[in-house]
A and B are shown apart, each in its own frame.
Chain A
């Protein structure tokens, strides 16, 4: 990891140098989004949604993030955006404890820091643009899976980085749901693959060997989906793969049967909503309990107590509907 970290620092330095030095000098208000990792289809879709919203709303949109899901790199990127005078910065938080202190220091430099896609709940951020509630996602995946593999199943979990707060929250709610509703289900402790698909495949293969009675494996991080699917295909066993996987990543495996279904939301809309929320914050307009957002069919709910702006219900992708999506 150290090597990747050094190299990504170099590339971040290069990227920062290539972008305009001061965005504050321009008249149009600017919103930035810092993903956990650039170069994966999921965050690309958020970037596209953000760009569309920026065009519709007359904003400037900046998209910058680490190349390998590294919390330190993400911190540096957020700090550089604050000092460059960006008006509002949304972060998909990798490490909540690292981001939280920045909320105040951003405010002292006339920037608004908020979270989107992954939260830092106790940081004092004004709003968290949520793709779905962590509870909704954790429950939905377990409900859909138990309906398919039975309420006496043994289920393994392969996650990504152990410090990613959103992934850990989903796993927590999966456990809650199993404990409350499905006493016959055995949910194994999560294994952490870091960011590489190779490691995810090796972990899954070992899980299958360690538990001959395994019925399903959940790929919690999108980066682990192909690895989990590949391990299931190689094993030749009757094991159902699932997870929070984008349609493009899971398409081949949904059609081959290695994956029964996947649960996610539309990141394009999430990116759109993020930039819209940034504009509301910059304008000082705030949020109502129900908000009309341009291009959205249903009103978007805001919970003033938790500060969560909710995109909507999680979506279940299957072999039948996967071709309707492209991200």
Chain B
């Protein structure tokens, strides 16, 4: 092969170059058999239990590597966390790569090694995958799709319909770190090195919550795109209950606050990749906080609000925030990407 440093179209052709890429780059990074010859058309798995969770997500992020993570780590965390929010531990993951011709192989290797490490950390083996290469210009460098199969823990009974008035809302840590770290790097802002993405697998703290709380745990969601605002708006809409949060009780990362200020963004609407929101019965709230705080990634967990009763018929359920000064304001579903402001 003429160029061994960059991805060529032939790397996706199914021939020798494809086999080389899989054997030399992909399999060592992600784990699995040594030779492509040992790969079968499908992974065959033993069903772990009767209740399975299944999810899929595609990942595109620019830049591919950002402070605190990269697209590989993100592709594992995102899917593992979607399983975790359903009360499931990951059993197996799939990973499909769509690569733009010309991508640096060293970069691909770094990204896949990061994905492999994260998958191992989350206890989620990558059991099957696919590689395609598209001509230059048809894609921004790399897109990853992962799907995850999970084993729903006994005792997990989660859903909008289980959310009740009086329930407490728990958030596992400060907001906005992922979105702001990526945006700061993208815009070349000087504080970008101080702000790390929170991208991390949440399987363990989520499973611990299920085990400790059982039926007292009513709902979980990771506030990714659209941030906490979107998650709470969904929670209000899905459960038909009003939601009330206290601004003063939301955990804070001062660097993220400063970055949001500079970019003119509302922290509540910025993406997170390593936080969870849990709705728990009020009496189980202290337990939930104690359990979460045992994990480094959730050590700043706090009760941030509560469910406040069914909305009247015909009234749209509302998310309200009691501000730091004691005022009240609405929290809305964000309506799209916010533009940088003038001053």
Do A and B interact with each other, yes or no?
no
Residues of chain B whose beta carbon lies under 8 Å from any beta carbon of chain A: none
